[in-house]
Structure 1
Amino acid sequence: MLRSVCKLILQNRVVYSKLICICHFPARRFFNSGSKSPDQQSLTVSYLVNSCGLSLQQALSASKKVNIEDTNKRPDSVLELFATYGFAKSQVSRLICIRPHLILADSDLTLRPKIEYFQSLGIVGPDLPKFIISNHSLLFTSLHNRIIPNCDFLKGILETNENLVRSLKQTPCVAGGNIEKTMKPNINTLRAIGVLTSHIVKLLILQPQAFMLRDDLFKEVVLEALEMGFRPKSRSFSLAVRSLSRSKVNWDKKSEVLKSFGWSQDEVLAAFRVQPMLMVCSEKKIGKVMDFLVNKVGLKPSDVARCPNLLLTSLERRIIPRCTLLEILAANDVFKKGRDIVWALNSTKEMFEKKFVTQYEYRVPEAIKAYWSEVESLKSTI
């Protein structure tokens, strides 16, 4: 009997040895110096969830990139710093979810000087967290070698901190970009063809991103604007550059939306020459306004093409309330629906109310009531 048992053990020794290897090798590999132990991982995940406000799934993902047990850094100091500068917990969570290594950054040497610098420029209050979150890479960009020189260069052209802040808010990445290779040559390109400094300043405030194109691509944009007939000294030239600097794909998509409502290619180009900001509007906005004006108001596509400003106005805040009023006035035979409707929709608030609200306040009170009702209801949703 004993002999049989011994024989059975010897026969299965190889299998038993393999089982031992399979069970223990992964554990040995898991605890290599480059990996996190389950305890370390659980501590990091727990910290990310309980202190940083990440969801469990976000924390598990972030814990693959950062380990609070492997450092003598004090992650609490980073959270305290953000709280000091008015960051909400949800904003901190978002930042750490995107850049988990933030919790291991040196709060005093790496983070605080940059936040204080932007604060000193005038980015304060709720705008400060929004600005930092919109371009979190600035927190890891050299303050003295990149951020300050870039901002000094911009301020030299924009002249005031107020203009600088407006520009930075439009495109925060400009503060950390390579201005020497992009922005400076592109500004020189505009100056060389006679674009006025005041127009360059305006473009830098409204669309600094345009100047971050590669210089050869920027020159193509400038040449295209010239070929379309825009004169360099006109304000519309810089607006055309602003629109054209956005991708060619976007231009084509917006053109197709307009053509789907009956515009010709010539009408697209003519409308762009009249109002270069037309192509800054989103495809959704263009389609929504065109659909309302053509299919609900009854305008011809060519009517809108001759007054492309209509596509820049708010459908909810301007066009719908005005059309509501004009519809009731037309029903009361005091306004001919086909007459002056484009002018009425495109006129300033003061001009419109003087001609159509004040004039009919007592003659058609229900129309005025409907108009103000629309205006007030929209105010409450803004």
Structure 2
Amino acid sequence: MIDSTACYVRYIGTLTSVDSATSSKPLSVTLSYLTNTCGLSPHRAATVSKRVLIRSTDKADLVLQLLRANGFTKTQITTIISNVPHLILADPKKTLQHKIAYFESLGIAGPELRNIMCVHTGILKVSLKKRILPTIDYLRVLLKTDEDAIFVFKRFPPIIACGAEVISSNICTLRALGVPEPSIRRLIVTWPRSLSFRVDIFGDAIREAKELGCEPTSKSFIYALNSIVSMSKSKWESKRKVLMSFGWSERDFLMAFRASPFFMTASEKKMKQSMEFYLTKACLQLTDLVRRPLLFKISLERTVIPRCSVLEVLMSKGLINKNVDVVLALSMTRKRFEDKFLACFKEDCPELIQAYYAKTFQGFGKKCLSIKSL
């Protein structure tokens, strides 16, 4: 176990500015309070103490008392103080209790509110009056209902930190381009993070979406915009390189992106796994993935492998033709697939259910040459 006292001594000894009893006492109090009372590690306490200096623990005690009274656990309190150290020097009623009371008035309370505040500590850094209230009010006006405004906040709490001005500016840009109101509403309700970016970053994403062939008036535009703005340029290029490594051309990429921009939100790992599985085990062609890029977003473990297992059994029993449309079978809703391939054959082939849940599919093998896909 680390000797926290020794850490304090070593840390204090490295500070050239702390060379008197007057200045070292508050620092010592701060380090001790952060570790022993707030639960921070000595290393983290040393870092935090550069940002706050506790001269008296009276106000800090009130802050912790208020957090405990509102149900925050010791671990949650440690997380909050570690990320928002200035909170411990603030007036607990003005900076904390009023925020808690406001969110409770919106129906966000208890474990849900505590979790939001711990995961998204930025909420505790911004002003209730200057940032939180105006942003929620703007969302209410924009979305027409309190329920939708609260839904958006819960979906992406940091939207509070970016403020109504940024959201409004980005929405004005979309409207100026002719993006339909239903599309704008879908964007903010489904992907509110997309509208939280700085105006210049948001504008760059719009230009790139248009350069890739997505028109602002099309339904796919907001999907393209979200896909682009949700990742860094380096990450975007890395994913493109993965696709190219499997033989995709620039034309293939553009065709796939225009058909379904959302496929680019799949991780690099998922893209590699999907390409390898579809081409080697599911016996699909590269063109199948170009035409149906959403195959990248379907879970291999939960959906693709179980369905391929069922198709393999049905083919081996001669219950379905070997030129079955695999892409269509994988793209169906769960209910439609089960109705078409399980319910219709479970009496003639009782092992279907076991195949469906065992997930033991190893590949269509020699059947590859005769399987037809889109």
Report the TM range for the smaller structure's normalisation.
0.7 to 0.9
The yes-or-no answer on 1:215 pairing with 2:215 is: no
> How far is the alpha carbon of 1:34 from its aligned partner?
6.4
> How far is the alpha carbon of 1:326 from its aligned partner?
2.1
Seen in structure 2, the aligned counterparts of structure 1 residues 85 and 367 have a Cα distance that, compared at 3 Å, is: same
The residue type paired with residue 251 of structure 1 is W
Residue 187 of structure 2 corresponds to which residue in structure 1? 203
1:310–1:346 Cα contact (<8 Å) kept: yes
Quick check: which has more Rg, 1 or 2? 1
> How far is the alpha carbon of 1:328 from its aligned partner?
2.6
Residue 113 of structure 2 corresponds to which residue in structure 1? 128
Q: What is the total number of aligned residue pairs between the two structures?
A: 347
Distance 1:111 1:227 in 2: 46
The residue type paired with residue 136 of structure 1 is T
Per-residue CA deviations over 1:212-251 (Å, capped at 9, x if unaligned) read 3343443343344344443433321222221222333332
The yes-or-no answer on 1:188 pairing with 2:152 is: no
> How far is the alpha carbon of 1:205 from its aligned partner?
1.8
- Greater shift in the superposed pair: 58-67 or 76-85: 58-67
Structure with the greater relative contact order (CA < 8 A, sep ≥ 6): 1 or 2? 2
The yes-or-no answer on 1:276 pairing with 2:261 is: yes
1:327–1:337 Cα contact (<8 Å) kept: no
2:84–2:124 Cα contact (<8 Å) kept: no
Residue 55 of structure 1 corresponds to which residue in structure 2? 41
Of the three residues 14, 35, 51, the one matched with 2:23 is 35
The residue type paired with residue 283 of structure 1 is E
- Greater shift in the superposed pair: 268-277 or 287-296: 287-296
Seen in structure 2, the aligned counterparts of structure 1 residues 158 and 309 have a Cα distance that, compared at 3 Å, is: same
- Aligned to 1:253, the other structure's residue is in SS state helix
Residue 370 of structure 2 corresponds to which residue in structure 1? none
Of the three residues 95, 112, 116, the one matched with 1:110 is 95
Seen in structure 2, the aligned counterparts of structure 1 residues 262 and 52 have a Cα distance that, compared at 3 Å, is: same
Distance 1:29 1:314 in 2: 57
The residue type paired with residue 190 of structure 1 is L
2:139–2:149 Cα contact (<8 Å) kept: yes
The residue type paired with residue 24 of structure 2 is K
Seen in structure 2, the aligned counterparts of structure 1 residues 85 and 313 have a Cα distance that, compared at 3 Å, is: farther
Residue 247 of structure 2 corresponds to which residue in structure 1? 262
Residue 124 of structure 2 corresponds to which residue in structure 1? 139
Of the three residues 162, 187, 195, the one matched with 2:147 is 162
The yes-or-no answer on 1:312 pairing with 2:302 is: no
> How far is the alpha carbon of 1:74 from its aligned partner?
3.1
1:297–1:323 Cα contact (<8 Å) kept: yes
Of the three residues 120, 136, 148, the one matched with 2:133 is 148
Distance 1:100 1:308 in 2: 46
> How far is the alpha carbon of 1:310 from its aligned partner?
1.1
The residue type paired with residue 361 of structure 1 is K
Distance 1:55 1:295 in 2: 50
- Greater shift in the superposed pair: 195-204 or 56-65: 56-65
Question: With structure 2 as the length reference, what TM-score do the two structures score?
Answer: 0.82
Q: List runs of 5+ in structure 2 lacking aligned partners.
A: 1-12, 361-374
1:73–1:106 Cα contact (<8 Å) kept: no
1:122–1:161 Cα contact (<8 Å) kept: no
Residue 338 of structure 2 corresponds to which residue in structure 1? 353
Q: List runs of 5+ in structure 1 lacking aligned partners.
A: 1-24, 376-382
Per-residue CA deviations over 1:50-98 (Å, capped at 9, x if unaligned) read 4333334434443454444x02533233223223333332222222222
Residue 323 of structure 1 corresponds to which residue in structure 2? 308
- Aligned to 2:109, the other structure's residue is in SS state coil
2:205–2:229 Cα contact (<8 Å) kept: yes
Seen in structure 2, the aligned counterparts of structure 1 residues 113 and 357 have a Cα distance that, compared at 3 Å, is: same
CA RMSD for the aligned pairs?
2.9
1:122–1:162 Cα contact (<8 Å) kept: no
Seen in structure 2, the aligned counterparts of structure 1 residues 31 and 227 have a Cα distance that, compared at 3 Å, is: closer
Seen in structure 2, the aligned counterparts of structure 1 residues 251 and 26 have a Cα distance that, compared at 3 Å, is: closer
2:132–2:163 Cα contact (<8 Å) kept: no
Distance 1:236 1:34 in 2: 64
Seen in structure 2, the aligned counterparts of structure 1 residues 85 and 254 have a Cα distance that, compared at 3 Å, is: farther
Of the three residues 228, 244, 253, the one matched with 1:244 is 228
Seen in structure 2, the aligned counterparts of structure 1 residues 293 and 124 have a Cα distance that, compared at 3 Å, is: farther
Distance 1:26 1:303 in 2: 63
- Aligned to 2:307, the other structure's residue is in SS state helix
Distance 1:202 1:150 in 2: 18
- Aligned to 1:339, the other structure's residue is in SS state coil
> How far is the alpha carbon of 1:342 from its aligned partner?
0.9
Seen in structure 2, the aligned counterparts of structure 1 residues 129 and 296 have a Cα distance that, compared at 3 Å, is: farther
How do residues 46-125 of structure 1 correspond to structure 2 at under 5 angstroms? 46-68=32-54, 70-71=55-56, 73-125=58-110
Percent sequence identity over matched residues?
40
